[in-house]
Amino acid sequence: MADRPEIEMLFSAATIQARVEALAETIARELGPSPMIVAVLKGGFVFTADLLRALHYRDCHPRIDFLSLSSYGAGSESRGTVTVQRDITDDPTGQTVLLVDDILESGRTLSHAKQMLLDRGAVRVDLCVLLEKPGKRKAVIEADYVGFECADRFVVGYGLDYAHLYRELPYIGAITLD
C-alpha cells in the first residue's frame, strides 16, 4: 500500500462525542420532537448517524432523508454551480428541517440546499455542521449549530475524505498536502 500521509489529530473521538451530545441537547430543545433531518452526502453521514441517536435520547424522533450535491468551480473565485446528484425522496412541505453536513466552507452547496428545501415548502430550515472554517464564506449563509471552529487546514475523518479515503477515521485530523 502507498505511504499514508501523517495525520495530526485535531478532535478526538471522545471530544466529538461530547460535542455531539451537547448539540443534540440544543437541537431537541429548538426543533421539537419531530423534525425532518436531511443529511448531505457523502461527508455528513457519520455525523448525522451519531447526532440522530443522541437526539433519540432527548425525545426527538426525526424522519431522515439524504441529499447529494456537487459544486463545480467552488474552489475558484468564479461563481460555483451546484447540481443535485441524489435528491431527497420525502416531501419537506410543512416540515421543520435540520440540514446536516460535515463542514461549512464557502457555503455554496449548503445555501443552495437550504433554498431548495424552502422553495419546496419547508417551513423552517436550520443548518447544523460539525465544522466551520471561518473567513471562507462565498454565499450568505451561517450555520445555526456548529460543532467546532476549524483552522484553515485540510481535515479528514469522521465522514470527511481526502481522495475518497479516511472517512472511517473515528477522529478528525489534519493532513498536509504537497
Handedness of CA 54, 133, 127, 165 (dihedral sign): negative
In whole angstroms, the minimum distance from the beta carbon of 152 to Mg ion comes to 17
CA-to-CA separations, 130 to 23, 67, 84, 158, 164, in angstroms, rounded: 9, 17, 22, 10, 19
* Closest CA relative to residue 54, chosen from 90, 98, 85: 98
- Identify residues 71-130 at the interface with ligand IMP (CB under 6 A): 71, 74, 101-110
- Residue tagged 449563509 (cell numbers): 141
- Show the site string, 145-174: x = touches ligand IMP by CB under 6 A, - = not: ---------xxx---x--------------
3-state secondary structure (DSSP) of residue 169: coil
Choice among 21, 77, 105, 142 that is catalytic: 105
Residue with the closest Cβ to ligand IMP?
A: 106
- Show the site string, 30-49: x = touches Mg ion by CB under 5 A, - = not: -------------x------
Residue 77 annotated among the catalytic residues of the structure: no
In whole angstroms, the minimum distance from the beta carbon of 24 to ligand IMP comes to 21
- Which of the residues are catalytic? 105
